[in-house]
């Protein structure tokens, strides 16, 4: 099996709705989103209104689609699944099989080498494999696309999973197949009923149990070349003329998701591995909510309202609703309002109003969420924090999370699930908390320099700081020092707890390089709780040239000392945490996997490079917790 598909740049289909009188077809999906011990949610977009039915073994569930802005969606809640089981599933539209795609079609042929799509309910053995990363540009897999953007970590992950399944099948049964295949139109029954990973075993590459997208999985401001041409054709001459090559409406955001999620290998991956998703700036627009000055300038543009409504509306539909459990989904105010609306026009108005308020009144919508893995004896909490849209940008009160959002995060970090425990707290933020030290100091220097001051000199300093902030993207946690200090204090509270977790793993992306850092809190003895920053970026959007050089040098002696000196000149105090970049930085496309086994955890770091056969390279494995005594 090859480890990189070679296709033309426009091979990812930009699907468009077809007339409603035609039979419904599957445009995007299925996406397996939330999975727990006995239930799962499956998200789809269809070409026309339909009844969507998902069947997995003896469990079946149906839901009608609902429409907004001429598009049709459904989130099917499947219940009654066996705990700790692996079951292939089928999806029907109005009684006709839509997934696996019927044999003989183009999509079925593209998926022919991939195993059947399955639903794997939560394990009961205290083990978890959670993969994550961020920053994925859409481009072709011809020589031009590979040279510019490299291998696609999601495509490579899917192919590696398929190869592992084939290897296991051959070792177990003496054959090199894994069943009927994702593109065959057939469905098998339960594959495993013991909770084991379907590729556990010697000489295999175990499948992830879940996948976290930590932001920037679509690029509204940097679309692919085919999409830029399409956008310019419709945006020229109107209010979006100045940004004609960027995405600016709900309809145009759908083109982004269609392009990103219909690459065959990625489509299969999303149909098989449960996903959690966070947004960052490129899901909306580069540098979103950097500062009050940025927001004042951007919101005055003629394209602003369409961009806000399209960005948040599409994010809610394509990404956020799938983050929710069935109980949360049934109570979610947007989802219930969409289902209750009398027609598509009313639903579109509901979605647009929600999207606009989410930006103008951040407390009206929360994009942060939790997802718990394990059981009463073994608990892992993924706490996914929106570090982009709930900011307080008032110059005298800058916060990366406003007071409402921060109160929710504190409670989620310190309150275990009913009857459960938190052995590992996975604190995910698209923006890393612990940067390389030079960047940390420069961001703190800039915020300190830019504090509002009276007088000509004070105003000049503020303008200089704002110019530098926007020019070099100084907008991470250290650029909001009050929030940074509050998070460090929260880490101390978690580590001092009588039921302290074995690890707090801060997971991030955004910065287009990957690294790990081990942290030590000042004034807090936490031998039972290891604290690490884990950064994986990009999936597919590598740094080049001077930016790569800067990232490689900023942690070294002279430049690091210079940055620290700048921070001291402004009176910036040292943080109450120390950290060491112990692995990295790396600049290749890749993916990280947190591997949990009871109270132990380790990290697997994989990178994909276009050279010598374009194969996976296991960069390193990092123990994250001390083994039990």
- The per-residue DSSP string of 546-573 comes to HHHHHHHHTTSHHHHHHHHHHHHHTTPP
In a 13 Å sphere around the CA of 185, the CA atoms on its Cβ side amount to 11
Q: How many helices and strands (H and E) does the chain possess?
A: 18, 23
Q: Count Cβ neighbours within 10 Å for each residue of 575-605 and write b for 16 or more, e otherwise.
A: bebebebebbbbbbbbbbbbbbebbbbbbbb
Those residues whose C-beta lies under 8 Å from the C-beta of residue 511, and which sit 6 or more positions away, are 432, 435, 535, 537, 551
Q: What is the pLDDT of residue 174?
A: 67
Q: SS in 3 state form for 318-379?
A: HHHHHHCCHHHHHHCHHHHHHHHCCCHHHHHHHHHHHHHHHHHCHHHCCCCEEEEEECCCCE
Helix, strand, coil distribution of the chain in percent, nearest 5: 35, 25, 40
Q: What is the pLDDT of residue 124?
A: 86
Q: What is the pLDDT of residue 614?
A: 57
Q: SS in 3 state form for 522-537?
A: CCCCCCCCEEEEEECC
Bridge-partner residues for 380, per DSSP? 373, 424
Bridge-partner residues for 99, per DSSP? 91
Bridge-partner residues for 41, per DSSP? 77
Cα(525)–Cα(534) distance, rounded to whole angstroms? Answer: 21
Cα(65)–Cα(113) distance, rounded to whole angstroms? Answer: 30
Spans in the chain with pLDDT lower than 70 = 1-20, 174-204, 612-616, 627-629
Of the candidates 115, 159, 165, 161, the one whose C-alpha atom is nearest the C-alpha of residue 141 is 159
Cα(77)–Cα(330) distance, rounded to whole angstroms? Answer: 10
Cα(386)–Cα(381) distance, rounded to whole angstroms? Answer: 16
Bridge-partner residues for 531, per DSSP? 504, 519
* Backbone angles phi and psi of 491, in degrees to 5: -60, -40
Cα(221)–Cα(247) distance, rounded to whole angstroms? Answer: 6
Residue written as token pair 């406003």: 402
Stated pTM of the model: 0.92
Q: What is the pLDDT of residue 545?
A: 79
Those residues whose C-beta lies under 8 Å from the C-beta of residue 26, and which sit 6 or more positions away, are 44, 45, 46, 47, 91, 93, 98, 99, 101
CA angle, 504 then 273 then 380, to 5°: 25
Strand order in the sheet with 379-384: 369-374, 379-384, 424-428, 503-508, 530-535, 514-521, 577-586
Structure tokens at 426: 């996975």
Residue written as token pair 């994989």: 606
DSSP state of 316: I
DSSP state of 243: G
Q: What is the pLDDT of residue 559?
A: 87
Report the interhelical angle of 557-569 vs 437-449 (nearest 10°).
Answer: 20
Alpha carbon of 315 to those of 245, 544, 559: distances in Å? 20, 29, 39
Structure tokens at 211: 């996948």
**CA 607, 192, 276, 380 torsion-angle sign:** negative
> What is the CATH T-level fold of the domain 369-628, as seen in this structure?
Purple Acid Phosphatase; chain A, domain 2 (3.60.21)
Alpha carbon of 348 to those of 39, 174, 309, 361: distances in Å? 29, 54, 11, 19
Q: What is the pLDDT of residue 344?
A: 97
pLDDT in tens, 403-454: 999 999 999 999 999 999 999 999 999 999 999 999 999 999 999 999 888 7
Q: Counting beta carbons within 10 angstroms of the beta carbon of residue 371, is it exposed (0 to 12), middle (13 to 18) or buried (19 or more)?
A: buried
């Amino acid at each position: 099996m090859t480890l990189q598909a070679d296709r033309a740049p426009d091979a990812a289909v930009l699907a468009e709705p077809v007339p409603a009188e035609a039979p419904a077809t599957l445009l995007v999906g299925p996406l397996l989103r939330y999975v727990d011990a006995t239930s799962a949610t499956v998200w789809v977009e269809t070409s026309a209104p339909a009844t969507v039915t998902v069947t997995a073994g003896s469990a079946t569930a149906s839901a009608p689609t609902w429409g907004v802005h001429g598009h049709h969606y459904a989130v099917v809640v499947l219940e009654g699944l066996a705990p700790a089981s692996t079951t292939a599933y089928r999806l029907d539209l109005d009684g006709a099989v839509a997934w696996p795609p019927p044999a003989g079609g183009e999509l079925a042929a593209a998926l022919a080498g991939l195993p059947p799509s399955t639903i794997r309910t939560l394990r009961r053995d205290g083990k978890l494999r959670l993969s994550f990363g961020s920053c994925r540009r859409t481009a072709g897999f011809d020589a031009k696309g590979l040279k510019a953007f490299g291998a696609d970590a999601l495509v490579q992950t899917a192919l590696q999973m398929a190869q592992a399944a084939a290897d296991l099948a051959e070792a177990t049964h003496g054959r090199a197949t894994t069943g009927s295949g994702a593109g065959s139109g057939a469905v098998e029954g339960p594959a495993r009923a013991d909770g084991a990973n379907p590729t556990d075993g010697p000489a295999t590459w175990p499948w992830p149990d879940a996948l976290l997208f930590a932001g920037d999985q679509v690029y509204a401001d940097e679309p692919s070349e085919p999409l830029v041409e399409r956008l310019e054709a419709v945006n020229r001459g109107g209010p979006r003329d100045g940004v004609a090559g960027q995405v600016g409406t709900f309809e145009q955001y759908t083109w982004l998701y269609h392009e990103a999620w219909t690459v065959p290998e990625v489509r299969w991956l999303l149909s098989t591995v449960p996903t959690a998703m966070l947004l960052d700036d490129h899901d909306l627009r580069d540098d979103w909510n950097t500062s009050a000055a940025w927001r004042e300038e951007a919101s005055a543009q003629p394209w602003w309202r369409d961009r806000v409504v399209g960005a948040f509306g599409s994010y809610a539909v394509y990404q956020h609703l799938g983050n929710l459990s069935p109980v949360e989904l049934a109570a979610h105010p947007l989802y219930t309002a969409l289902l209750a609306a009398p027609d598509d026009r009313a639903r579109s108005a509901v979605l647009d109003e929600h999207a606009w308020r989410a930006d103008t009144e951040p407390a009206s919508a929360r994009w942060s969420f939790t997802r718990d893995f394990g059981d009463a004896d073994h608990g892992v909490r993924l706490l996914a924090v929106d570090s982009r849209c709930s900011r307080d940008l008032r110059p005298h009160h800058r916060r990366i999370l406003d007071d409402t959002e921060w109160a929710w995060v504190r409670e989620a970090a310190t309150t275990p699930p009913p009857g459960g425990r938190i052995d590992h707290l996975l604190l995910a933020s698209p923006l890393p908390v612990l940067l390389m030290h030079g960047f940390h100091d420069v961001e703190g220097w800039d915020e300190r320099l830019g504090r509002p001051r009276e007088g000509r000199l004070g105003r000049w300093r503020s303008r200089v700081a704002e110019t530098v902030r926007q020019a070099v993207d100084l907008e991470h946690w250290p650029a909001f020092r009050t929030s940074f200090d509050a998070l460090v204090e929260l880490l101390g509270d978690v580590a001092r707890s009588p039921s302290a977790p074995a690890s707090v793993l801060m997971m991030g992306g955004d910065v287009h390089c990957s690294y790990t850092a081990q942290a030590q809190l000042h004034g807090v003895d936490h031998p039972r709780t290891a604290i690490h920053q884990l950064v994986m970026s990009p999936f597919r959007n590598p740094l080049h040239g001077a930016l790569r050089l800067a990232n490689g040098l900023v942690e070294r002696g002279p430049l690091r000392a210079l940055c620290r000196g700048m921070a001291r000149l402004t009176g910036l105090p040292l943080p109450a945490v120390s950290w060491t970049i112990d692995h990295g930085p790396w600049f290749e496309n890749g993916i990280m996997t947190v591997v949990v086994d009871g109270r132990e955890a380790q990290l697997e770091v994989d990178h994909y490079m276009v050279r010598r056969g374009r194969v996976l390279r296991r960069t390193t494995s990092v123990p994250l917790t001390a083994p039990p005594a």
